[in-house]
Structure 1
Amino acid sequence: MATVFIDGEAGTTGLGIRDRLLRHAGVTLHSIAADKRKDLDTKRAILRAVDLVVLCLPDEAARDTVRLAAELGPEAPKLLDASTAHRVADGWTYGFAELEPEQVDAIRTARAVSNPGCYATGAIALLRPLVDAGLVPAGTPLTINAVSGYSGGGKTMIESHQSGGAPSFELYGLTLQHKHVPEIMRYSGLTRRPLFVPSVGNFHQGMLVSVPLHLDELPGRPTVAAIRDALTARYPAGGHVVASEAADGRLEAEALNDTNRMELRVFGNEGHRHAVLVARLDNLGKGASAAAVQNLELMLGLG
């Protein structure tokens, strides 16, 4: 039986992971009393006692727990960080198992894994196969648009929506400094910073990430079919990430809620030489808690 401690289990992601692990036959959860959360001796003892710690904390607090674990030397647990703190840090393995064929084994053998961001999960899944195939050169200027349910926006945003005080829809991140962009660039293979425009809708969870392409502006002038084939080749049927057939020109965000699945679609018009890539996922599922449990299972030999 593997032992796990969720440091920050009271937050949205932590609660999602906890709920999944409470139903997991291979895992025993350790918890810390609310009045002991900042007591270093208590936390140190828990870190020493468990096989793996999931960090569901603000970035600096996550770094503090990592430093505390490092003090334990060979008694230190494995670390899975759901914050932004270590997603592009040296020594950390990126926890997107579908990134490339070797990534599952890399996660299995890692001592420290960073769980991907929700928007980044969709963008990387769409772009990495196309960059690898040479269909989208790494220096291509790209725009990434996305909409998420409000549950990904933190306590203040959640309370605003649930109280009826939030707008139906809004753009945000318009300083163009969103924290997911560095990991999108690193793990998609892009060398030119994309324009990323996120938004939030007045629904609890669910996400769409889209990337428009002018096909004639790409060096090889690929067809819509070639783009679709590259995604299908990377993501075989039956996995958590699948390349699905384009639907009827409409796509809603909530169809994959409470799952660890992600669907990728290519909508195109050959007459206009336009294509739009779309990833659909649950920002709390494959975009957060469910992906964390997938990584945890690999790290602990449970999956």
Structure 2
Amino acid sequence: MTTLPKVFIDGEAGTTGLQIRERLVGRKDLQMVSIDPDRRKDPLARKAMLNDADAVILCLPDDAAREAVALIDNPAVKVIDASTAHRTAAGWTYGFPELDEAQRGKIAASTRVSNPGCYATGAIALARPLVSADIIAPDLPLSFNAVSGYTGGGKAMIAEFEDEAAPNYTRAPYRIYALTLNHKHVPEIQSHGGLLTRPIFTPAVGRYAQGMLVELPLHLGMLNGSQSLSDIHEALASHYAREPFVEVASLSEARAMTTLDPEGLNGTNRLKLFVFGAEDSGQVRLVALLDNLGKGASGAAVQNLNLMLGLKEGAGL
């Protein structure tokens, strides 16, 4: 009888951990293991769980994630880190299978995979194919604008929006943040987007739980060669033509749209890209739509887990 791979989520009580567990519970191709709640803070019990599992998913703050990795001395344990800690670290594979033709295989062969950030998923999905196709020069200064549901801001922001008794409770329907331009996703956007110049990233949060839009506006005249909306669309469509979770909307679909709902892909592991603009304007507005807790977090973690364990990539998704 074949033994099912054991999967341990360290931090399963958090937002991402809970959603990963929902996608894994009840599956017949793996088994979930959990630490006794009374022993969660027992370092010996935690170390034993980390080293006994076939795969570990870390849903922890950065420092705690680094600590967890240091506790693992079993070389056979496969690790997916959902924190920011290892997204540009040497020895770690970036967990965006759609990055290029080789990335899926790298993830499958790796024992250390860093789950992408939610904003970074949208930004890299838009920029990387255009850099690879020599449409965007790697040193071109880019600006990414984005809006997310408040779950994209972590525990503190979730508490602020959901707890009316919280000291900083506000009813503002929309606001910008990361005003110093030092958002934690910028290094991975630059690194995995293939960019030589640090991009500007301007995030915002809306008063809704989840769902995300990431935008990349471009002047066509600043791109390599003589580019059109059709050229940019073709580069994106070609890059993602065989991807099960990424769709590029047709130009006719985009032209017919007057707005775009950030909650449009909630509850899915899908990512949809749009090319907006008009040929005579010399400008293009690229937009990525995704669920920040789906393809931007828990869905991506499950997709990576499936690849690392040799299971069907879409299982649980």
- TM-score band by shorter chain is over 0.9
SS at match of 1:253: coil
Match for residue 288 of structure 2?
279
1:288 aligns with 2:297: yes
CA distance in 2, matches of 1:93, 1:229: 28
CA distance in 2, matches of 1:27, 1:284: 22
SS at match of 1:239: coil
- Following superposition, the deviation at residue 237 of structure 1 comes to 5.5
CA distance in 2, matches of 1:113, 1:238: 20
Asked whether the 8 Å contact 2:140–2:197 carries over to 1, the reply is yes
Match for residue 90 of structure 2?
90
Q: Give aligned pairs, total.
A: 300
1:17 to 1, 14, 20: 20
CA distance in 2, matches of 1:202, 1:221: 41
1:255 to 264, 271, 282: 264
> 1:97-123 CA distances to partner (integer Å, 9 max, x unpaired)?
000011111111101000000000000
CA distance in 1, matches of 2:141, 2:11: 38
Asked whether the 8 Å contact 1:57–1:82 carries over to 2, the reply is yes
CA distance in 1, matches of 2:179, 2:261: 24
1:5 aligns with 2:14: no
> 1:181-219 CA distances to partner (integer Å, 9 max, x unpaired)?
110011110000111000000111100000000101223
Amino acid at match of 1:276: R
SS at match of 2:280: coil
Amino acid at match of 2:141: P
Asked whether the 8 Å contact 1:109–1:299 carries over to 2, the reply is yes
Amino acid at match of 1:122: G
1:182 to 166, 179, 187: 187
CA distance in 2, matches of 1:44, 1:276: 48
SS at match of 2:148: strand
> 1:120-152 CA distances to partner (integer Å, 9 max, x unpaired)?
000000000100011010011111000000112
CA distance in 2, matches of 1:219, 1:112: 36
Superposed CA RMSD in Å reads 1.2
Match for residue 224 of structure 2?
219
2:64 to 61, 64, 79: 61
- Following superposition, the deviation at residue 154 of structure 1 comes to 1.8
Deviates more, 1:166-175 or 1:80-89: 166-175
- Following superposition, the deviation at residue 157 of structure 1 comes to 1.5
> 1:1-41 CA distances to partner (integer Å, 9 max, x unpaired)?
11100000111001110111103221211111233222121
1:51 aligns with 2:60: no
Task: Flag structure 1 segments of 5+ consecutive residues without an equivalent.
Answer: none
SS at match of 1:271: helix
Deviates more, 1:17-26 or 1:60-69: 17-26
- Following superposition, the deviation at residue 238 of structure 1 comes to 5.8
- Structure 1 residues 1-303: aligned runs within 5 Å: 1-69=4-72, 72-74=73-75, 76-163=76-163, 165-166=169-170, 167-236=172-241, 239-245=244-250, 246=254, 247-303=256-312
Q: TM-score, normalised by structure 1?
A: 0.96
Amino acid at match of 1:178: H
CA distance in 1, matches of 2:226, 2:142: 16
Q: TM-score, normalised by structure 2?
A: 0.92
Deviates more, 1:146-155 or 1:158-167: 158-167
CA distance in 2, matches of 1:250, 1:23: 38
Task: Flag structure 2 segments of 5+ consecutive residues without an equivalent.
Answer: 313-317
CA distance in 2, matches of 1:162, 1:24: 32
- Following superposition, the deviation at residue 80 of structure 1 comes to 0.5
- Following superposition, the deviation at residue 62 of structure 1 comes to 0.4
CA distance in 1, matches of 2:52, 2:175: 45
- Following superposition, the deviation at residue 50 of structure 1 comes to 1.0
Asked whether the 8 Å contact 1:249–1:267 carries over to 2, the reply is no
CA distance in 2, matches of 1:159, 1:58: 16
> 1:58-109 CA distances to partner (integer Å, 9 max, x unpaired)?
101000010110xx244x5111000000000000000000000111111111
Asked whether the 8 Å contact 2:134–2:224 carries over to 1, the reply is no
Q: Matched residues, percent identical?
A: 54
